[in-house]
Amino acid sequence: MKTAIHSVHAREILDSRGNPTVEVDVRLKDGTMGRASVPSGASTGIHEAVELRDNTCRYRGTGVARAVNHVDVDIASAILGIDALNQTLVDKAMLELDGTPNKSKLGANAILGVSLAVARAGANACNMPLFRYLGGTTACRLPVPMFNILNGGVHANWQGTDIQEFMIAPVGAPSFKEALRWGAEIYHYLKKLLHDEGYSVNVGDEGGFVPALKRNADALEFIVKAIEGAGYRPGEDVVLAIDPASSSFYEDGFYHLHTENRKVEAVEMIAMYAAWVDNYPISLLEDGLAEDDWDGWKLLNQKLGHKIEIVGDDIFVTNVERIARGIKENIANAVLIKPNQIGTLTETIAAVRMAYGADWSAMVSHRSGETTDSFIADFAVALDTGHLKTGAPCRGERVEKYNQLLRIEELLGESAIFAGRRNVLPRAS
């Protein structure tokens, strides 16, 4: 069999924050190679699959030599000879070898690196672009890029807003290429506005600016002005989205808004979001409440789920068991999809399918610590997710995903469709 896995080799590389991460090369019997690397979060959900780190003196404890060794020795011997085109079988072999509920034995970083590299090798062996190999011949819809142009929270060392991510979505653009241009123009206009008002224009982990604003809502004001200043219509051409990543400021039953010097309960957070949705063209709210605040989430979805997209990240962690509970309890209407939260391509696809089965949407996401691997760009087209977030239109590891989507759009030519408003709500009620 030409596509049988012939060798598996991992190495320790650096991510965009200067921390070690796993890169994997998979070679097939016919000589084809597939390479993939693994990102890493900072506002990580406590229910995520385990990212194995060495905890030795190397790299201040963050080394991944153990995960690399698990790939080279244990995983390699378990999957050598398996057909790379049978992704399910490869992933199943790794799950069985690990045997734990959270991949703590081998490490989700080890397993995911192999899983994605096997998919790439398969695509290369078939001489197909990755998006087509994964999504089939009808995969032709480009996602709306959700540009994170203002960073706060842990991605900004708490030097900016409590809200971690303020995003713009150019839903009115006629193509992905134009959406990228609109996003970059607005990004640069925002830089000028912040600079003119005396704020820092240094950037956070995901490439967005980190101004030391006094109120979280000030960020929304600046962004609306930047959209207008760049010549676009807020709410029509470009809508807003926010990811407070609220688990990172939730403690003892309260949400601690450091910038505003106050702590509030879930109901007050919901009232704050509802007021923002009334006053600004916000279409999507991710992780408005904390990762185990199921009751709060239910209220939040009752209040805003008919108006905007309510996306669960830390609460679902791309895990079908948690998503199933969310669907049953009706606590959201969308799932954030991060392959490294769950650890295999097969399980990531299952999470997207479960969301679709419930008439929810799915948004593909990078991590705050990234590599230049653009797997998620192809994945978003393959699974037709309609939107994807991968940071600001700035910084190499962020723009590589957006640039890959440009290439895919070019390759598709006239058959390319831009998702536009399809997934980025306001929802049709």
Q: Residue 144: enclosing H or E segment and its boundaries? A: strand 144-145
When the beta carbons of 42 and 327 are compared against ligand PGA, the nearer one is: 42
Distance CA 374, CA 358 (A): 28
- Beta sheet of 254-257, edge-to-edge order: 250-251, 254-257, 262-264
Q: Give the residue with the Cβ less far from ligand PGA, 43 or 344.
A: 43
Q: DSSP 3-state assignment of 274?
A: helix
Nearer CB in complex with ligand PGA: 3/333: 333
Look at residue 48 and give the partner it binds from ligand PGA, Zn ion, none, a contact being a CB closer than 5 to 8 Å depending on partner kind. none
Contacts with Zn ion by CB under 5 A lie at: 243, 245, 287, 313
With tokens 């962690």, the residue in question is: 317
- One of 23, 103, 291, 338 is an active-site residue; which one? 338
Which residues ranging from 336 to 355 are in contact with ligand PGA (CB under 6 A)? none
260 is annotated as an active-site residue:
no
| Residue 23 or 291 having the CB closest to Zn ion | 291
Q: Under the criterion CB under 6 A, does residue 367 sit at the interface with ligand PGA? A: yes
Q: Facing residues of 203 across strands?
A: 209
Give the separation between CA 378 and CA 326, rounded to whole angstroms.
27
- State how far the Cα of 392 lies from the Cα of 10, in Å rounded to an integer: 29
Q: Could you tell me the smallest distance in angstroms from the CB atom of residue 258 to ligand PGA?
A: 17
Half-sphere exposure of 95 (CA within 13 A, CB side): 14
Look at residue 390 and give the partner it binds from Zn ion, ligand PGA, none, a contact being a CB closer than 5 to 8 Å depending on partner kind: none
d(CA 325, CA 321): 6
By CB under 6 A, what part of segment 276-335 binds ligand PGA? 313
Strand 147-151 relative to strand 165-169: parallel, antiparallel, unpaired? antiparallel
Q: What would the two tokens of residue 338 be?
A: 């991060």
CB of 254 to Zn ion, least distance (A): 20
Q: Distance between CA 277 and CA 5 in Å, rounded?
A: 51
- For tokens 């954030």, the residue is 336
**Segment interacting with ligand PGA (CB under 6 A) among 180-188, 296-304, 364-372, 392-400:** 364-372
Interaction of residue 162 with ligand PGA, rule CB under 6 A: no
Q: Is 338 a catalytic residue?
A: yes
Residues 21-50 within binding reach of ligand PGA (CB under 6 A)? 41-44
Tell me which amino acid residue 223 is.
I
Give me the least distance between CB of 293 and ligand PGA, in Å please: 16
Using CB positions, name the residue nearest to ligand PGA: 41
Binding residues vs ligand PGA (CB under 6 A): 41-44, 243, 245, 313, 365, 367-368
Catalytic residue ranges: 206, 338
